[in-house]
Amino acid sequence: MSTVSRAADRIESVPFLTRDDASLLLVLPGLFVFSAFMLFPVLYLLGISFTNAEPANLFAGEGVVAVLTFGDALFVGLENYADVLTDGQFWNSFGVTWLFVATSVTLKIGASLAIALIVTSELVRGKRVLRSLIIFPMGLPPIFTITVWRGIFSSAEFGLMNQLLTAFGASSVAWLSGRWTAFVAYNVTEAWLAYPFMVIITVSALQDVPEELHEAAVVDGAGFLARFAHITLPSIKRPVLFASILTSAASFQQFLIPFVFNKGGPARANELIVVYGYREALSFQQYGRGAAISIIALVFIGAFMWLNVKKGKLADGVND
Amino acid sequence: MLLGAIARKLGNDIKTFATMPARTVRKWSYTVQAVRRGELPASEVLKVILSTIGATLVVLALLFPIYWILMAALSGSGSSLYTSESFSLFPTNPTVKPFIWVIGDLIVPSYSISAAIPFTDLAFVFQTPGIEILDASDYGVDRPSEFKHFLWNSLMVAIPTVLIAMSLIIPAAYALSRREFLFRRKILFLYVLMTQVGGGLGVALLIGMYALYVQFGINDSKLALAVYYAATAVPFNTWLLKTYMDGIPVSYEEAAVVDGAPPWRVVTEVIIPMSTAGLATVFIFVFLTGWTEFVVAQTLLGTENYTLPVGLYAMVDEYSIPWARFSAFALTFASPIMLAYLFAQRYIEGGLSFSGMEG
């Protein structure tokens, strides 16, 4: 203990620090390790994006010096960015990513709202049991869920989806080998992954809607749809909007679904942006280009964070 | 103390669950009587019954994929992942053979221990008995899966992850909860920001990470991977534990200080014992970080060091794998996690409301 208080005394002797600031020492190790594995890779990634790095030159040489000079890779300025931004492949990936955000978020909000309305309906009994069942998939590891869904969309005759189709008299579909069928498969899986979170938030928002408003509207003769549009929706708008920002960010950064399903295929058509950067570097050895793509993706992830701070009143909790 | 609390809670759960049919029957009989007396219109009751059935069907449809994978594992069909037989709601002849294939032999081989007595020619040789819990070949399973190998790798990653992360998280959470110091608000803000958005951050940074790891020659090291996991677990779990510690009344510490306890004893005898549940929750979350992460592990580790998630993914890529075996492997991997999660969930229900910001 004495060493700690001695350190505290020493800190106190620094003019603008108080004795309590010694507590910063308890936080610093965690902060340092976290930054070392988050901040440093960002800087390194940024560095690589300005070089012509590929395994042959990047991993040449050994030790700290080679790390700092990016091996034998050469500085090429903004060439990678210019290259990427004039490449049709990039714009395809960029477009597919935003399309995926749009479709999957719409699907997620629609489905979760419907589910939430069902499990809060006053006509339904046993709501607590239903609700705890419904959020069960939250406890499953994503890699498990996604490999299972890949089996469901198995391109061969007897995946679960194709069995359902044949049961209803339709012919089976090679889900993961067609561009848009694979895209549909991504959307369904993403919706299934995200619905427990969305339902939890929507249900708690729905429970906060004042009962009196609904009763008054019923007295005035408003039907279910009118009450939904004029009472329910306005009251749950804010929390649902907040959840939508979070889930949009999740869709934008989706990696596992395309990667596990068909590596963003067929023929790289469905590579969402994070998958695109990853594959460019680690499958096609273009580290410089891959890094440039990842940096572009990071800018958008940063924008989501900023939006989250603005809309989610993130700072509220810190001011306690 | 914690185990007692868990046991009590489980006991309550079981009691509520066991008495549920009786209570339901009682409620329904009230309703039936009310309808007979004409106090409640029958159409109203019918509406409730139909809606409840409808809602139950929706919920069952949502959970159907999990049921399907369970049935696939139990049906034990020999066909492969891509040519499975048509699905039936109940397996025709259920078998646990796929699970035995996953687990493989559970045999502790017999070791001989020899101890020589110095300066003599005498030597003792002990033969420890071999313990045979499960012999896969008894059940007609010849080449069991590599599950145990992956499990060992996963443990070798997850245990250091927990040790490193906990030693970083506990002091930080305490300081953030109890002290006021320079940059406190800024650090909290950074941690919360990282908690909320950032699932894909790790993947986006992976190129930089991978290049660094290769250059330092630690890309195939389980320990280096554990340090990375511990680092990524810091923001969320520090925040969670801080929120939990905020709930412990300061008066307990003040009482200890009045009694003359030095600061470190306040921490070890008041704070730590009182935040056992919070610590358990954080423990589970950190453990699961290392246990379930796939992308980074798949990129960094070589075949020899594959962890369970990577092993699972490698299976789905293998076209000849029988469906039942894949399902059994996936379920054996996931079911302990489900249980741990359900346990941890009880403790965070309150703490993680709406935005996770309250507290």
At position A116, the amino acid (one-letter code) is A
Assembly ipTM: 0.82
Residue of B nearest to A287 (CA): B207
Strand partners, B132: B107
**Å from B171 to nearest chain A CA?**
5
Q: Which of B13-22, B248-257, B269-278, B324-333 has the lowest mean pLDDT?
A: B13-22
The answer, yes or no, to whether residue A169 has pLDDT greater than 90, is no
Residue of B nearest to A27 (CA): B172
Residues B130, B249 within the same domain: no
Residues B180, B288 within the same domain: yes
Residue B359, pLDDT score: 31
Confidence of residue B39 (pLDDT cuts 50, 70, 90): confident
Are A141 and B309 in contact (CB < 8 Å)?
A: yes
Residue A104, pLDDT score: 95
Question: Of B346, B240, B225, nearest to B283 (Cα)?
Answer: B240
Say how many domains are in chain B.
2
CB-nearest to B172 from A30, A136, A305 is A30
Residue B106, chain A, CB below 8 Å: the answer is no
Q: B283-331: per-residue pLDDT in tens?
A: 888 888 888 888 889 888 888 888 989 988 888 766 666 777 888 888 8
Residue B341, chain A, CB below 8 Å: the answer is yes
Residues B127, B275 within the same domain: no
Question: Of B110, B233, B262, nearest to B170 (Cα)?
Answer: B233
Residue B5, pLDDT score: 64
Confidence of residue A186 (pLDDT cuts 50, 70, 90): very high
To which residue do tokens 């990129």 refer?
A: B299
Residues B159, B204 within the same domain: yes
Are B48 and A160 in contact (CB < 8 Å)?
A: no
The parent domain of residue B152 ranges over: 147-317
B306/B301 Cα distance (integer angstroms): 6
Q: Report yes or no on B18 lying in a domain.
A: no
Q: Report yes or no on B269 lying in a domain.
A: yes
**Å from B119 to nearest chain A CA?**
51
Q: Is the pTM of this model over 0.90?
A: no
Residue that terminates a domain, selected from B118, B139, B160:
B139
C-alpha A319, offset from chain centre: 27
For A132-169, b/e burial (b = at least 16 CB within 10 A) is: ebbbbbbbbbbbbbbbbbbbbbbbbebbbbbbeeeeee
Confidence of residue B161 (pLDDT cuts 50, 70, 90): very high
Contact in structure between A178 and A162 (CB atoms under 8 Å) = no
Residue B354, pLDDT score: 34
Q: Give me the CATH topology for the region A87-285.
A: MetI-like fold (1.10.3720)
Tokens (6 digits) for A241 = 């909007």
Residue B359, chain A, CB below 8 Å: the answer is yes
Residue of A nearest to B315 (CA): A147
Residues B190, B230 within the same domain: yes
The answer, yes or no, to whether residue B355 has pLDDT greater than 90, is no
Q: What average pLDDT score do residues A86-92 get?
A: 90
Residues B155, B132 within the same domain: no
A250/A255 Cα distance (integer angstroms): 9
The answer, yes or no, to whether residue B244 has pLDDT greater than 80, is yes
Q: Which of A232-241, B73-82, B274-283 has the lowest mean pLDDT?
A: B73-82
Confidence of residue B134 (pLDDT cuts 50, 70, 90): low
The answer, yes or no, to whether residue B85 has pLDDT greater than 60, is no
Residues B111, B244 within the same domain: no
Residue of B nearest to A162 (CA): B86
Are B187 and A31 in contact (CB < 8 Å)?
A: yes
Q: What is the DSSP string of B194-205?
A: HHHS-TTHHHHT
Q: What average pLDDT score do residues B185-205 get?
A: 76
Residues B215, B301 within the same domain: yes
A132/A130 Cα distance (integer angstroms): 6
Q: What average pLDDT score do residues B45-53 get?
A: 85
Residues B127, B256 within the same domain: no
Side-chain-side CA neighbours of B225 within 13 Å: the count stands at 28
Q: Report yes or no on B248 lying in a domain.
A: yes
Q: Which backbone phi and psi does B322 adopt, to 5 degrees? A: -65, 140
The answer, yes or no, to whether residue A79 has pLDDT greater than 60, is yes
The sign of the CA dihedral B208, B211, B212, B213 is positive
Average pLDDT, rounded, for chain B: 78
Mutate to test the interface with A, among B46, B196, B207, B267 (most CBs of A within 10 A): B207
More confident residue, B172 or A172: B172
Are A294 and B204 in contact (CB < 8 Å)?
A: yes
**Å from A230 to nearest chain B CA?**
23
Residue B358, pLDDT score: 34
Are B215 and A67 in contact (CB < 8 Å)?
A: yes
Q: A12-32: per-residue pLDDT in tens?
A: 666 666 666 777 888 888 889
- How buried is residue B61: exposed, middle or buried, by Cβ count under 10 Å (0-12/13-18/19+)? exposed
Residue B168, pLDDT score: 93
Residues B153, B134 within the same domain: no
Mutate to test the interface with B, among A27, A200, A201, A295 (most CBs of B within 10 A): A27
Q: Report yes or no on B348 lying in a domain.
A: no
A249/A305 Cα distance (integer angstroms): 8
List the Cα angle B294/B63/B7 in 5-degree steps: 80
The sign of the CA dihedral A56, A62, A67, A73 is negative
Helix/strand/coil (H, E, C) string of B279-326?
Answer: HHHHHHHHHHHHHHCCHHHHHHCCHHHCCHHHHHHHHHCCCCCEHHHH
**Å from A42 to nearest chain B CA?**
6
B308/B334 Cα distance (integer angstroms): 10
Residues of chain B in contact with residue A68, where contact means CB-CB under 8 angstroms, are none
The answer, yes or no, to whether residue B46 has pLDDT greater than 50, is yes
Q: Report yes or no on B266 lying in a domain.
A: yes
Q: What average pLDDT score do residues A293-317 get?
A: 77
Average pLDDT, rounded, for chain A: 82
Q: Report yes or no on B171 lying in a domain.
A: yes
The answer, yes or no, to whether residue A100 has pLDDT greater than 90, is yes
Q: Report yes or no on B154 lying in a domain.
A: yes
Residue B112 host element (H or E)? strand B112-116
The answer, yes or no, to whether residue A173 has pLDDT greater than 70, is yes
Residues B307, B270 within the same domain: yes
Residues of chain A in contact with residue B187, where contact means CB-CB under 8 angstroms, are 27, 31
B258: domain CATH number is 1.10.3720.10
Tell me the residues of chain B between 33 and 52 that have a Cβ less than 8 Å away from chain A: 47-48, 51-52
Instruction: List Cβ neighbours of B131 (8 Å cut-off, separation of 6 or more).
Output: B107, B108
Contact in structure between B328 and B101 (CB atoms under 8 Å) = yes
Secondary structure of residue B40 in the 3-state scheme: coil
Q: What average pLDDT score do residues A283-312 get?
A: 85
Q: Report yes or no on B124 lying in a domain.
A: yes
The answer, yes or no, to whether residue A228 has pLDDT greater than 90, is no
Tell me the residues of chain B between 144 and 183 that have a Cβ less than 8 Å away from chain A: 164, 167-169, 171-172, 174-176, 178-183
Secondary structure of residue B123 in the 3-state scheme: strand
Domains of chain A, by residue range, sit at: 2-11+20-79, 87-285
Residues B193, B249 within the same domain: yes
Residues of chain A in contact with residue B334, where contact means CB-CB under 8 angstroms, are 140-141, 144
CB-nearest to A141 from B179, B323, B337 is B337
A251/A219 Cα distance (integer angstroms): 42
Residues of chain B in contact with residue A203, where contact means CB-CB under 8 angstroms, are none
In this prediction, what percent of chain B has a pLDDT beyond 90?
Answer: 6
Residue of B nearest to A200 (CA): B354
The answer, yes or no, to whether residue B346 has pLDDT greater than 50, is yes
Helix/strand/coil (H, E, C) string of chain A?
Answer: CHHHHHHHHHHHHCCCCCHHHHHHHHHHHHHHHHHHHHHHHHHHHHHHCCECCCHHHHCCCCHHHHHHCCCCCCECCCHHHHHHHCCHHHHHHHHHHHHHHHHHHHHHHHHHHHHHHHHHCCCCCCHHHHHHHHCHHHHCCHHHHHHHHHHHCCCCCCCHHHHHHHHCCCCCCCHHHCHHHHHHHHHHHHHHHHHHHHHHHHHHHHHCCCHHHHHHHHHCCCCHHHHHHHHHHHHHHHHHHHHHHHHHHHHHCCCHHHHHHHCCCCCCCCCCHHHHHHHHHHCCCCHHHHHHHHHHHHHHHHHHHHHHHHHHCHHHHHHC
